[in-house]
Amino acid sequence: MTAPTVPALARPGFDAELAEALLTIPVVHPGAQRHASIAPFDGQPLVELPYSTVDDVDMAFDTATQAQARWAQTEVAERRRIMLRFHDLLLAHQDECLDLIQWETGKTRMDAMKELLGVCTIARHYARAARRMLEPERPLGIVPLLTKVTIERHPVGVVANIAPWNYPLFLAAADAIPALMAGNAVVLKPDHQTSLTALYAVDLLHRAGIPRRVLQVVLGFGPELGPELVERADYVMFTGSSAVGSRIAARCGERLIGCSMELGGKNPMIVLDDADPAAAAEVAVRACFDNAGQLCVAMERLYVMADIHDAFMERFLSRIRNLRMSAEVGWAADYGSLIGAEQLGRTAAAVEDAVSKGAEVLVGGRSLPDIGPFYYAPTLLTGVTEGMQVHGSETFGPVVAVQLVDSEDEALALANDSPFGLNASVLTRDERRGQRLARRLRTGSVNVNEAYEATFGSTRAPMGGMGRSGLGRRNGAHGLTRFTEEQTIAVQRGIGFGTPFGMEHDAWSELLVKGFRALRRSGLA
């Protein structure tokens, strides 16, 4: 294969030989059309990617389907050993992986490290929990002792995982891991901008012991390959926009196959009047500006109670102004780049629209070409009203609207006034007060005194959205069992349910009623 095209630029940490090796993984035909991905740090081509065709997608699914049956027969204990090896490989090669993530996404090394550790957490969790989640269940049958019921779980077959660019390592691996642990094959389509990072995860999974035929990769643009993936899959996992997710869900419904989706969010943070201003400001900076706001669980709406407003805002603005920025691989930066020109344009347009309609910029509100071609300053707006793009639509960038509120109930009403329901945050010194308010928020997850890590990183608990924010849940038992089909097997012993020979129907009915009353009194069923 031809070596990736790399401009004659000094690119510390980018390994062209590694990139070339990774490009042997995807299913592409000889002479495939190539498209360059762009490095956010310098805006120049990073690598030329060979793109898969519709025929390549068919080949990937045919290969995965043939391999899946044998993989499903692999003992769960062996799958566990493979996932733990993958965990260890990822930690052993963390520097190589972090370099790749930074070059492809432009994010800070700390954001990249959170992504890597998140994958390790998922791998460790399902390696240890899969046996329990997949073992047969034996619920009580309709007639205790006489009806023996077993619930078996079978893999669905081949799972299509359509992953986005913002967390290319995590979102490629975190959904593939439970699908594989459940005995499925996976066809992964990463975003074209961050394909190398996804391929790196696949390479480590192969090296850990996942058969290459069981985990296939196709590369290309979503609008071209996405429909083909949905048509061939037995189950679809999609992370992306609500608009695209709706179309995929509709087609999955037509095909009567399962799907789960993490979609958009317009996440609220409520700063209660008893919060510690300094601690709240520290959480808020991460909540709003981690990964330059390109995070589905990031906060884009802040509701701050009047009694704490000034003290909080003073510290919050100070922290924003002191964020360190640098377009380079390494630990020097607190704040990274947007992914590319399109994302920069969308962010700038949203701010310009708000300002033209009366919003005020408290900090930021401009691009930062002196730092990097796609950097946009972390931006805080006030005076945002209905009719502005940033009011109800997800910006998916470093733009946050702050609003003073007079009461907890007002904050709650504003927070819930959204078709989205992915994540929320409540900041308070009173844990019980925070939990009470959290229960009233219509979001799939709520972090009290944190941004998103507390819920997202707790892999034993489900994570997902309500409303326009998605279907199904990652993590927890459902994160794995969604990739299975349940089968109920019931064995009837002794007497059955038909009227016994020689007995009249009314007499048999009366006997059944007596039996039901006895079961009611016993509490057994």
Task: Indicate the burial class of 266 (C-beta count within 10 angstroms; 0-12, 13-18, 19 or more).
Answer: buried
DSSP string, 81-147: HHHHHHHHHHHHTHHHHHHHHHHHH---HHHHHHHHHHHHHHHHHHHHHHHHHHSPB--B-SSTTTE
Query: pLDDT at residue 355 above 90?
Result: yes
What does the pLDDT read at residue 12?
86
Query: pLDDT at residue 476 above 50?
Result: yes
The HSE-up count of residue 468 (CA atoms within 13 Å, CB side) is 17
- Same topology, domains 16-263+477-484 and 267-458? Answer is no
Q: Give the active site residue among 48, 228, 262, 300.
A: 262
Give per-residue pLDDT as tens, 247-297.
Answer: 999 999 999 999 999 999 999 999 999 999 999 999 999 999 999 999 999
pLDDT confidence of 60, banded at 50, 70, 90? Answer: very high
Look up residue 364 and give its DSSP letter.
-
What does the pLDDT read at residue 525?
72
Nearest CA to 376 out of 342, 420, 411 is that of 342
CA distance 489 to 312: 59
Q: What angle do CA 216, 102, 238 make, to 5 degrees?
A: 40
Boundaries of every domain in the chain: 16-263+477-484, 267-458
CATH 3.40.605.10, applies to 16-263+477-484:
yes
Query: pLDDT at residue 23 above 80?
Result: yes
Nearest CA to 13 out of 376, 341, 331, 371 is that of 331
pTM of the model: 0.95
User: Does 104 qualify as catalytic in the annotation?
Assistant: no
Mean pLDDT for 393-405 is 98
Give per-residue pLDDT as tens, 425-443.
Answer: 999 999 999 999 999 999 9
Mean pLDDT for 457-461 is 95
Give per-residue pLDDT as tens, 484-525.
Answer: 999 999 999 987 889 999 999 999 999 989 988 998 898 877
What does the pLDDT read at residue 108?
98
Mean pLDDT for 469-483 is 96
SS (H, E, C) 367-411: ECCCCCCCCECCEEEECCCCCCHHHHCCCCCCEEEEEEECCHHHH
The HSE-up count of residue 484 (CA atoms within 13 Å, CB side) is 23
- 69-to-62, 99, 126, 505 alpha-carbon distances in Å: 12, 37, 21, 48
CB 448 within 8 A of CB 112: no
Residue type, 387: G
Where is average pLDDT lowest: 54-63, 124-133, 491-500?
491-500
pLDDT over 90, % of the chain: 93
Q: Are strands 34-38 and 45-50 parallel, antiparallel or unpaired?
A: antiparallel
Give per-residue pLDDT as tens, 83-118.
Answer: 999 999 999 999 999 999 999 999 999 999 999 999
Query: pLDDT at residue 5 above 70?
Result: no
Give per-residue pLDDT as tens, 182-203.
Answer: 999 999 999 999 999 999 999 9
What does the pLDDT read at residue 472?
95
Instruction: Name the class of domain 267-458.
Output: alpha beta
What does the pLDDT read at residue 330?
96
User: Does 296 qualify as catalytic in the annotation?
Assistant: yes
Tell me the pLDDT of the chain averaged across its residues.
Answer: 96
CB 202 within 8 A of CB 219: no
Give per-residue pLDDT as tens, 217-242.
Answer: 999 999 999 999 999 999 999 999 99
Q: Give the active site residue among 104, 228, 296, 300.
A: 296
